[in-house]
Amino acid sequence: MADNATQASISDDLSNAPTKSKRILDWVKGVAELTKPDRIYWVDGSAEENDRLTQEMVDSGTLIRLNDEKFPNSFAAFSDPADVARVESRTFICSEDEKDSGFTNNWMAPAEMMENLNRVFDGSMRGRTMYVIPFVMGHLDAEDPKFGIEITDSPYVVASMRIMAKIGSDVLAKIDETDAFFVPAIHSVGYPLAEGQEDVPWPCNDEKWIVHFPEDRSIWSYGSGYGGNALLGKKAYALRIASVMAQDEGWLAEHMLILKLISPEGKAYHIAGAFPSACGKTNLALLDPTIEGWKAETLGDDINWMRFGKDGELRGVNPEYGLFGVAPGTGWSTNPNAMRAIEKGNSIFTNVALTEDGGVWWEGMTDEVPAKLTDWRGNEWTPESDTPAAHPNSRFCTPIDQLDMLAEEYYDPQGVKIDAILFGGRRKTTIPLVTQSRDWQHGIFFGSTLSSETTAAAEGAVGNVRRDPMAMLPFIGYNAGDYLNHWDTVTKDHGEANLPKIFLVNWFRRTADGGFAWPGFGDNSRVLKWAVERIEGTADANETAVGFVPTYESMDLTGLDMTEEQFAEAIAVDKDEWLAEIEKIKVWYDNFGEELPASMAQQFEELKNRVNAL
Ligand SMILES: Nc1nc2c(ncn2[C@@H]2O[C@H](COP(=O)(O)OP(=O)(O)OP(=O)(O)O)[C@@H](O)[C@H]2O)c(=O)[nH]1
Ligand SMILES: O=C([O-])CC(=O)C(=O)O
Ligand SMILES: [Mn+2]
């Protein structure tokens, strides 16, 4: 399109915008002047619009429509093989002062970063449509709704954001009506099209920038179309920017699932759990308890915004509308609830394998492995192939209300009272199956020293132990020392009685012969039962140097073939392992320097003394 004609069409798109807000129009206009798209499209969020956009993506080869009988209204997408996960090395927190970003984040001075961004975004949307997506994280009728507007040149992002957040006309109307603050979030895949140039199914750029400006609460993302890099309501807003808002406003934005566990007597407990990416949040959130009479319902599988209620209790809300779950390992035997939700359709799968009858498959979905598949790279695949059929970080993106087990409190803007918090990671050794903290401070210590072997959810080597405080290492939008301090100060005045009990869990410990020490998945309900019985004061525990672990008798192992010796292996506290762990914690804590809260330094000293006395 000639430049004059493009400009005319852009000004039409602006004058026909569904908002009269000068603030929004000026911003959108400015982004269009920089990125130079062919047109601007205002996303209304309707089903008709989604049908149109997904059909366009089918026609252009970005999406494959799945067999409608097996997966209605569902699509598969395949990313560029170099764009398969969050890119932590290219993720920045650009505070004015470097100190406010801290050692866990990449930093660049805002002015210098803006020079970069102005360079890469200049003309980055040429030949494309610029979509404007108004969205809200959490409830539209919350007391203080958290709005955002994402500008993107990726229709895949529009369709995925529609699943993950509440988007469209109602949201824009509410922003207008209340003149509300919104987080401006700008995303470009960084693949402009020259006149006549043909597009590729998954446009992206080798150069990537995932940038957050905490002071003005804005987000710029360039070069990737994938997951947390591109769906900016999720990790970028609901964790990185929200953690900064939470620090200012006195609440907590956390990387946690929220589960409602109901006892045989009908008493409900709400359990939050912070596990690093690909360490079991979605699976626990969709738990199918294996113990008689206990039931579970889901509130959230990834993000938990916690505020203090009027009676001083800590309440949690899930700000998302969809599940963005790791596909491999999600199957009929491990997670039937996810499978039932997925089968209802309305989903986008990314980097899974395709079956011959127009369905999808991934490792662990069914016990039987299909004889022939098309793998995530588009190659023919058989069980003899030596690469996985689905990428290890392949994902299903599915509306959360398709879960049969969704708790009714999911719809309550006040959220639920959190009774327990679990911190968990993936550790082959050292960390017992479950440990209750000695008190609230000791629980924060659990979180601050949380560690896990790295997974495929982020680029880089898999399997190295790294510290991941509160499972927030890649998501704390400010100085990590200030973040630990915020956990401490924001909860200080509320008293142990109002605060949740804290537990450290490890579903991934290995036995001497290399197998898992604990069966995991639905059997994790046994650990949750023990935890709520600890809250009620009815379950026994042994006090160890690292906290309270269950006695063999106190853990309900009915129906499990687990001897006392095997259980002892799962909960063992080994002096040599802990001496080594203490050394590693020291190295980790040294990073904080002056910023380490005194209370955590003290917890560390106390742990050291207890372990040395073993
Ligand atoms: N052995 C074992 N594996 C588990 C258990 N729970 C989850 N997993 C596996 O861990 C992987 C990731 O699980 P998810 O529940 O998707 O992890 P997540 O924390 O939601 O991941 P993100 O969405 O990246 O934040 C899958 O391959 C699961 O099969 C468990 O209890 N035991
Ligand atoms: O953000 C993503 O791409 C997916 C996700 O949930 C995570 O990595 O924790
Ligand atoms: Mn998940």
176 is in an annotated binding site: no
* pLDDT tens track for 247-267: 999 999 999 999 999 999 999
CA distances from 517 to 196, 427, 489, 509 (A): 59, 11, 37, 5
Name every residue whose Cβ is closer than 8 Å to that of residue 382 and which is 6 or more positions away in sequence.
371, 372, 373
Ligand 2, residue 458: give the atom nearest the CA: 8
Whether residue 604 is predicted with pLDDT greater than 70 in this model: the reply is yes
Predicted confidence at residue 463, as pLDDT, reads 82
How are beta strands 420-424 and 268-274 bridged, if at all?
Answer: parallel
Q: What is the CA radius of gyration of the chain?
A: 24
Ligand 1, residue 523: give the atom nearest the CA: 31
228 is in an annotated binding site: yes
Q: Which-ligand-closest: CA of 275?
A: 1
Predicted confidence at residue 498, as pLDDT, reads 87
Where is pLDDT greater, at 458 or 108?
Answer: 108
Q: State whether the Cα torsion 387-389-394-400 is positive or negative.
A: negative
3-class secondary structure, 83: coil
CA of 256 to the centre of ligand 3 (A): 9
CA of 205 to the centre of ligand 2 (A): 19
Q: Is residue 466 left, alpha or beta, with left meaning phi > 0 and alpha meaning psi from -120 to 50?
A: beta
335 is in an annotated binding site: no
Tokens of 470: 């509160």
Predicted confidence at residue 493, as pLDDT, reads 83
Ligand 2, residue 324: give the atom nearest the CA: 6
* pLDDT tens track for 518-557: 999 999 999 999 999 999 999 999 999 999 999 999 999 9
Predicted confidence at residue 384, as pLDDT, reads 97
Name every residue whose Cβ is closer than 8 Å to that of residue 603 and which is 6 or more positions away in sequence.
441, 442, 444, 445
Give 1's pLDDT tier (boundaries 50, 70, 90): very low
CA of 330 to the centre of ligand 1 (A): 8
Write the residue with the smallest CA distance to atom 16 of ligand 1.
326
Cβ of 287 less than 6 Å from ligand 1: no
List all residues whose CB is within 6 A of at least one atom of ligand 2: 86, 227-228, 234-235, 277, 302, 324, 457
Cβ of 230 less than 6 Å from ligand 1: no
How are beta strands 146-152 and 353-355 bridged, if at all?
Answer: unpaired
Angle between helices 480-492 and 242-249 (to 10 degrees): 40
* pLDDT tens track for 41-56: 999 999 999 999 999 9
- Whether the CB-CB separation of 67 and 338 falls below 8 Å is answered with no
29 is in an annotated binding site: no
| Mean pLDDT in residue range 410-434 | 97
Predicted confidence at residue 456, as pLDDT, reads 85
Report the candidate in 284, 274, 401 with the shortest Cα–Cα distance to residue 335: 284
User: Could you give the percent of the chain with pLDDT greater than 70?
Assistant: 100
Please give the positions annotated as active site.
279
Write the residue with the smallest CA distance to atom 4 of ligand 1.
280
CA of 550 to the centre of ligand 2 (A): 32
Pocket mutation for ligand 2, best pick of 84, 234, 475 (most atoms within 8 Å of C-beta): 234
Q: Which-ligand-closest: CA of 278?
A: 1
CA of 261 to the centre of ligand 3 (A): 19
Cβ of 441 less than 6 Å from ligand 1: no
Cβ of 117 less than 6 Å from ligand 1: no
CA of 375 to the centre of ligand 2 (A): 22
Q: State if pTM tops 0.90.
A: yes
How far is Cα 327 from Cα 425, in angstroms, rounded to an integer?
A: 19
The residue type at 35: T
Q: What is the mean pLDDT of the chain?
A: 96
Phi–psi pair at 418, nearest 5 degrees? -85, 120
Give 8's pLDDT tier (boundaries 50, 70, 90): confident
Cβ of 325 less than 6 Å from ligand 1: yes
| Mean pLDDT in residue range 591-607 | 97
How far is Cα 528 from Cα 548, in angstroms, rounded to an integer?
A: 14
Ligand 2, residue 235: give the atom nearest the CA: 1
Predicted confidence at residue 100, as pLDDT, reads 98
Q: Which-ligand-closest: CA of 335?
A: 1
* pLDDT tens track for 126-147: 999 999 999 999 999 999 999 9
- Burial letters 225-253, b for 16+ CB under 10 A, else e: bbbbbbbbbbbbbbbbbbbbbbbeeebbb
Place of tokens 């093989």: 81
- Whether the CB-CB separation of 529 and 434 falls below 8 Å is answered with no
- Whether the CB-CB separation of 110 and 212 falls below 8 Å is answered with no
Among 6-10, 105-109, 453-457, the range with the most confident prediction by mean pLDDT is 105-109
Angle between helices 110-121 and 22-35 (to 10 degrees): 70
Cβ of 426 less than 6 Å from ligand 1: no
Cβ of 462 less than 6 Å from ligand 1: no
Ligand 1, residue 508: give the atom nearest the CA: 1
